[in-house]
Amino acid sequence: MDNAENKPADLPEWLLLNENYIPLADKDTFVNKSILSVFKMISRIKKQDSQELTRSRIHVPLHVFGTFLLIILVSLTRSFIFVIIVNVWLLSVLSMTDSERMVKILKMSTGVTLCTAVVMLPAFISGNTYSSVMITTKVFGTITAMGLLSHSSKWSALTEALKKFYVPDIFIFILDITIKYIYLLGELSLNMFYALKLRSVGKNRSKYSSMAGIAGSVFLQSKELAEDMYHAMECRGFTGEYHVNNKSELKWPDCLYIGINIVFLILFIYFGRM
């Protein structure tokens, strides 16, 4: 009787199985690239509005005016020497910036210039050498000038400069709200990508289909944010008008920048007569 009581009962087979779960290997390239691209966009906008860019010595409206004047002169000129002088000046200014901004601007300008060179390659082969080289160097100069402007000025300072140039308020409003919405919705989508990556255990074959859910959630959240912003602006009496109250005086870097632009204008007229 005692031996029958001490005999272990037969256990079911499912209790004797190994419970160590080893998930199948899966590739997270799509999710990782999406997270990296969204993170770069958010960090770029956040860095663009940081306090480091407020130390720019040149007045931002003056910098905006000088940049657009230089782009117009480069676009209208027929002198290759003038374009080379402008490019040398822009590269000299670019060499005085920090290495991180210099690399970003050079990547952008070099990439656009290479694309332009590929487009102009048939014309270059057919014998239209001067125009092909001229257009390519002009593209490099204009992209570099815009890169120097965008990487040395805050978003708020750029919108303030647009207001001083009597740009319509509706255009400034759309530009300002678009930048803020890109930042907010970028953070929302970044959190959703993190959640998708953490909840994807093992082989997940529905990652691409999850993009529809992320896009739908971002759309609904943007709709709610738009309604909340509308009600907040209505309560605060916002009429869509922007006002600039601060008045800044010109300093010696601003006068030097004005003198450099006058020199470029004189060189444009001089080489245009040759």
pLDDT in tens, the chain (274 residues): 455 555 455 777 776 777 666 655 666 666 677 777 777 777 777 766 665 554 456 778 888 888 999 999 999 888 889 999 999 999 998 888 888 888 888 888 999 999 988 988 888 888 888 888 899 999 999 999 988 888 877 777 777 778 777 778 888 888 888 888 888 888 888 888 787 777 766 666 666 667 777 778 888 888 888 888 888 888 888 777 777 766 667 777 778 888 998 999 999 888 876 5
Residue written as token pair 């609904």: 220
The answer to whether 66 and 116 are in contact (CB under 8 A) is no
Element (H, E) at 160: helix 155-164
Amino acid letter, 106:
L
Domain map of the chain by residue range? 58-154+249-274, 168-200+207-237
Burial 122-136 (b: 16+ CB within 10 A, else e): eeeeeeeeeebebbb
Exposed, middle or buried: residue 214 (CB in 10 Å: 0-12, 13-18, 19+)? middle
* Separation CA 165–CA 215 (nearest Å): 37
Q: Is the dihedral of CA 70, 74, 78, 82 positive or negative?
A: positive
Question: Taking the CA of residue 7 as centre, how many other CA atoms within 13 Å lie in the half-sphere pointing to its CB?
Answer: 6
pTM of the model: 0.69
